[in-house]
Amino acid sequence: MSFIYRAAPFAAWRARGYRGLVSVRRRVGLIAVAAVAVAATLAQSTGAATTAVRCPASASGSAGPVQWLFSELGAPTPSSATVNWSWTRGSGSWNSGRASGTICSEDKGGGLATRNLVLRVTGSSTLSPMITKLGLLGVGIVLPVSVSASDDAACPRGTTGSVTLFASYYSIHRDSIVMRFAAACASHDHSFGGTIVHVEIARNGHQVNTASA
């Protein structure tokens, strides 16, 4: 699948923006994430040993009362000297203080060989509803991750980290993604914001107002 076809759903999504309350955001988000997660074959890295890393066709976790999903397509903020384009997306669920799911990440640019990671989400997770961030009220979640597949020799399987998501409430959206890893994968630490970011955290299609299961 070429990049032009993968990017098209995001362009349309950005043009439409979020409309209405969280139920509308959920419909739009599910369509976009599903479109980019369908059997995406990620590019190989260069080097003495190359390993094809594939993003699972279904990047989802076990069913739970709270569902999370996100996507971004663009440059990290602040800008990086080595990465000027990234495609990161994932989805899963949260239940009674634990999260599950799958995240896929692809970086390139700045003379850097394309790097691909697949992250497994599992373990204790903090859900924080009714918080203010980026000037708007919303909900946040911290997802524990570990690298389950990598074609970056410097970032081996098993390396742990976290992905922190924030989704603002209502029709005005100002979402964020923060990725942090242990030292071996620190070059994959990224933050994303602005119109390239779309995050949804919902309780069975409705706004998350409490952290109860």
Question: Residue 140: what pLDDT?
Answer: 98
Percent of the chain surpassing pLDDT 70: 73
- Side-chain half-sphere of 49: how many Cα atoms within 13 Å? 5
Convert the pLDDT of each residue in 65-89 to its tens digit: 999 999 999 999 887 778 999 999 9
Convert the pLDDT of each residue in 55-67 to its tens digit: 886 555 557 899 9
The answer to whether 83 and 190 have CB atoms below 8 angstroms apart is yes
User: Quick check: 11 pLDDT over 70?
Assistant: no
Higher pLDDT, 192 or 37: 192
Q: How far apart are the first and last CA of the chain?
A: 39
User: Quick check: 34 pLDDT over 50?
Assistant: no
Continuous segment of H or E residues that includes residue 150: strand 136-150
Q: Which residues pair with 64 in a beta bridge?
A: none
Tell me the DSSP string of 31-47. HHHHHHHTT-BPPPPPS
Worst-scoring range by mean pLDDT, 38-47, 87-96, 170-179?
A: 38-47
The answer to whether 191 and 166 have CB atoms below 8 angstroms apart is no
Residue 187: CB atoms within 10 Å = 17
Convert the pLDDT of each residue in 112-153 to its tens digit: 789 999 999 999 999 999 999 999 999 999 999 999 999 999
**C-alpha distances out from residue 44 to 85, 114, 116, 151, Å:** 16, 7, 8, 7
pTM, whole model, 2 decimals?
Answer: 0.77
